[in-house]
Amino acid sequence: MTGNKRRAALTRGFSALEMIVVVALLGIAVGEAIPQIRNALEIRALEGAARDIHQALQTAKWKATADKINYRVRFSVSGTTTSYIVERQLTAGTWTTAPSSVLKSIPNKLTVTLTLPSTKDVIFTPTGFVDSYDSTKNSIVISSAKLSLLRQPANRTIRFYAGGSIQYLKS
């Protein structure tokens, strides 16, 4: 081969067949990865929602003992949306949003089961105890139907006890 022909052969690029093979291999790899990415996002949503509630309960307990007044985590359910916020008691029966607390919502794709001692509240006293504690009404369960179908741990349970301790369980 002369120098010009050799240079032309080296710089001609990829053939159509080579490009089709590469695109097909990339399609297979992406097709395999998408379910795993969706699964990871579902786990992240479930874990995040449960840990946020756990943190709200810890914050209410800590603030109650620090400020020497009652604090609560108040839950509200509207349709399929469950929201919660940390509040402090000003006077008997009068509650206000705790400083730096914001209303948070649990994603609608998750199912929330509230088994609480009072209507929709978990109240912490100035000593850090749970007010009106009932051992049969002391949990919040967040579930993912999608993870259940995939036979993965689909429930996150937050339990609280009379002494104010809070437990996080994965099942």
- Cα separation, 66 vs 27, whole angstroms: 57
Q: Provide the token pair at 163.
A: 């002494």
Rounded average pLDDT over 23-48: 81
Query: Looking at residue 25, what DSSP letter applies?
Result: H
**How would residue 21 be classed by pLDDT, with cut points 50, 70 and 90?**
confident
Q: Report pLDDT for 2.
A: 59
- Hey, where are the domains in the chain? 3-170
Residue-averaged pLDDT of the chain: 89
Query: Looking at residue 98, what DSSP letter applies?
Result: P
| Alpha-carbon distance values, 57 to 20, 44, 101, 148 (Å) | 55, 20, 12, 26
Q: Report pLDDT for 6.
A: 60
Q: Report pLDDT for 23.
A: 85
Pick the CATH number of 3-170 from 3.55.40.10, 3.40.309.10, 3.30.43.10, 3.30.450.20: 3.55.40.10
CA atoms within 13 A on the CB side of 81: 6
Higher pLDDT, 123 or 14: 123
Rounded average pLDDT over 64-75: 97
Higher pLDDT, 38 or 76: 76
- Cα separation, 32 vs 26, whole angstroms: 10
Task: Evaluate if residue 169 carries a pLDDT over 90.
Answer: yes
103-156 pLDDT, tens digit per residue, is: 999 999 999 999 998 778 999 999 999 999 999 999 999 999 998 888 888 999
**How would residue 32 be classed by pLDDT, with cut points 50, 70 and 90?**
confident
Q: Report pLDDT for 4.
A: 65
- Cα separation, 14 vs 11, whole angstroms: 9
Which amino acid, residue 20? Answer: I
